[in-house]
Amino acid sequence: MKIFNIGLDNKERAYVQVEDFITLTKVGKPIPASIYDKAMKVKYCTNDNRYNFIEFNEPEEIEFFKNFEWIVNYKDIRYLTSDELKALAKRDNDEANDIAELWNTLTPEEKKLNMDAANRYSLLHHRIKSYGQMLWHKQGHIRLNMPIEPDDSGWIIDYLNYKVTIQSSLDPNIFLVFKDDESLLNDDNSIKQEMIEEAMKVAEDNIIDTNEFFANDFDLEVRTSDDKKYLIFEYKLKEYVDELDNNKLNKKGSK
């Protein structure tokens, strides 16, 4: 998947998943050197990093990724229901099946002249995997490691008197608390409990409205970002939290 977002500095950035870039290298399209250099810092696509996003911030890099419709735009599907995601997957699967049926009628010579169809078949299945990822993320089975930054199209609460903003993150399950001047969070008491309570109500209503799997049972994790600029509130399905805890226990027991 890919994400396009305008940051607090009013600059647009593109974020592209590791496995999408690896697929891009196999498509045979020319890749600008700056993009290749940034992406090649991730040498391998593994189960540990396949859902991670690579940042691209140059205008020509951003435009490059806007041209690939087979890389699913995360913002286009993040609020879809499970039925809507399954319908998109069925649509693409039906097209892939049509290509396969036609491909099986071609002679070897004709197949050589229709490699675009073979590529289209593969890219449709790649897109179907992205719909599955989004569904698994909503259900809490996997975690898409999205950048921690405010969503330029999300909800926002401005506390002008305190120079504090609370805003949804790119992940709808996360909201961020930060100072308007982007200074480090400290103990100056500018962040009030009533602000957090109001933001939690907005966040929980939004999550329940956009993710049917959050209707009942979830936990809230609070932490500070590594750069100390954001107070992060992340909602997690109990199933997902318990799964993480079980993994930790299993690792400890295996030592």
Residues 15-26 have pLDDT tens digits of 999 999 989 888
The token duo for 253 is 């027991």
**Mean pLDDT within 46-75:** 92
Q: What pTM was computed for the model?
A: 0.86
Say whether both 189 and 98 belong to one domain. Answer: no
**Cβ contact 200:161 at 8 Å:** no
* pLDDT score for 188: 62
Say whether both 8 and 133 belong to one domain. Answer: yes
SS3 92: helix
**Cβ contact 157:195 at 8 Å:** yes
Domain count of the fold of the chain: 2
The token duo for 153 is 């199209």
Say whether both 45 and 128 belong to one domain. Answer: yes
Q: Which of 160, 195, 161 is nearest to 176 (CA)?
A: 195
* pLDDT score for 208: 86
Say whether both 160 and 241 belong to one domain. Answer: yes
CB-based burial of residue 127 (10 Å sphere; 0-12 exposed, 13-18 middle, 19+ buried)?
A: buried
The answer to whether residue 147 sits within a structural domain is no
The answer to whether residue 200 sits within a structural domain is yes
Q: What is the pLDDT of residues 168-217, one digit of tens each?
A: 999 989 999 999 887 887 766 678 889 999 999 999 888 888 888 886 57
Q: What is the pLDDT of residues 82-92, one digit of tens each?
A: 999 999 999 99
Say whether both 9 and 112 belong to one domain. Answer: yes
Nearest-angstrom CA–CA distance, 49 and 45: 6
Domain, as residue range, for 194:
156-247
* pLDDT score for 239: 60
Q: What is the mean pLDDT of the chain?
A: 87
Which DSSP helix (H) or strand (E) runs through 3? strand 2-6
Say whether both 112 and 176 belong to one domain. Answer: no
Q: What is the pLDDT of residues 223-232, one digit of tens each?
A: 999 888 899 9
**Mean pLDDT within 70-82:** 95
